[in-house]
Structure 1
Amino acid sequence: MTDTTERPALPDHLSTDERSPHHVAAIFEHDVGIRFNDKERNDVQEYCISEGWIKVPVGNKVDRKGNPLTIKLKGRVEAFYR
């Protein structure tokens, strides 16, 4: 299967939260994958490749505004299009 549409370059820092300044809606029109320490992760909410971290939710815990609580994990981060 060949994709004829142009995919935007993946940024160094990306967030799934629409309120974040690091959210780029054009990228989420395509399927993005994150590999963290050589293991593909499906629960990443934010990443930074140059600083080597990802943010993932902590179970079903939410803050007082209803947003999921996240923890920052450090390691090797790779972003790619599927």
Structure 2
Amino acid sequence: MNEATSLPALPDRLSVDPRSPHHVAAVFERDVGILLNGKERLNVEEYCISEGWIKVAAGKTLDRKGRPLLIKLKGVVEAFYRDGAGSAP
């Protein structure tokens, strides 16, 4: 089976929030993995490969609209589709 050719390319910037202009629903049909400085991160809300950052929730803290408060972590960002086992490439 040749699934790799049928998957959409991962964008440079992607957000989990459906209200964001950087949300691409077709990408989320499969599990997406994110590496920051070579370490897999499981709690990423948004990323940008070219600018080298990810945004993650700051604990259980919420903003005034009830959404998680996000902090930005900088470094080398890599995005990939996870296989069935859920491991990094």
Report if TM-score (shorter chain) is over 0.5: yes
For residues 28-80 of structure 1, the C-alpha deviation after alignment (integer angstroms, 9 at most, x for no partner) is: 00010000010000000000000000000000000111100000011000000
- Provide the aligned C-alpha RMSD in A: 1.2
Count of residues paired in the alignment: 81
**Counterpart AA for 1:79:** A
Superposed CA deviations along residues 4-37 of structure 1, whole A, max 9, x for unmatched, are: 4711000000000000000000000001000001
Query: Which AA in structure 1 matches 2:23?
Result: H
User: What residue number does 1:42 align with?
Assistant: 42
Q: d(CA) in 2 for partners of 1:17 and 1:40? A: 20
Equivalent position amino acid for 2:32 in 1: V
Structure 2 stretches of 5 or more lacking a match?
A: 83-89
Stretches of structure 1 that go unaligned for 5 or more consecutive residues are none
Write the distance in 2 (CA, Å) between the matches of 1:50 and 1:57. Answer: 21
Secondary structure of 1:7's aligned partner: coil
TM-score, with structure 2 as normaliser = 0.87
TM-score, normalised relative to structure 1: 0.94
* TM superposition shift of 1:3: 5.8
**Residue aligned with 1:79, SS:** strand
